[in-house]
Amino acid sequence: MISKTMTEAINKQINREFFSAYLYLAMANDATDKGFKGVANWFNVQFKEEQSHALKFAHYLQEQNAKVTLSTIDQPTLAWGDVTSMFKEALSHEKKVTAWINEIADLALIEKDHATQNMLKWFIDEQIEEEGNVTDILWMLDMCGTSKSALYLADKKLAKRE
Ligand code: FEO
């Protein structure tokens, strides 16, 4: 059994993961509106990943006989100036998520909650990967500069994500 404080912290994180999903779905929709089908595909895959993160936390609570409490998901931004702005916001959002996961890890350490510490290892590794992936895309977009043909090829590359 985990503490009430830890249950609340994980429930809060479930909401944040669903918000992340919602944010990336909004980016996918805006990318579609802008004609970037590859970018839309990348964010749609990310949308599903974020839902799976929320469910992973929820299943952990249930395994610990703690209650999953779903709460209101904030409305995300709905449109961006260009696709680079989307990935910039995605990176700063992921940095926030990393900080939140670290806060829960700190709490687990204080509470000597070894089970939660162990569960969080997966998320700590995942955050390194998520920040790294978005950083790589930002480098690629930076290299495209103002070349429309380079942007077209970058979009084709992002269409391959499954
Ligand atoms: Fe679930 Fe992108 O962190």
From the list 93, 95, 82, the residue with the least C-alpha distance to 155 is: 82
Centre of ligand 1 to C-alpha 127, Å, is 7
Centre of ligand 1 to C-alpha 2, Å, is 23
Centre of ligand 1 to C-alpha 44, Å, is 13
Model confidence pLDDT, tens digit, residues 33-59:
999 999 999 999 999 999 999 999 999
Which CATH number covers residue 80? 1.20.1260.10
Task: Give the binding-site residues of ligand 1, using a 6 Å CB cut-off.
Answer: 17, 20, 50, 53, 94, 97, 130
Query: Could you list the residue range(s) of the whole structural domain that residue 145 is in?
Result: 4-158
Using the CB atoms, write b or e for 66-104: b if 16+ within 10 Å.
bebeeeeeeebeeebeebbebbebbbebbeebbebbeeb
Model confidence pLDDT, tens digit, residues 102-151:
999 999 999 999 999 999 999 999 999 999 999 999 999 999 999 999 99
Q: How far apart are CA 60 and CA 58, in angstroms?
A: 5
Q: Mean pLDDT over residues 81-94, rounded? A: 98
Q: Is the confidence at residue 1, as pLDDT, over 90? A: no
Q: Into how many domains does the chain fold?
A: 1
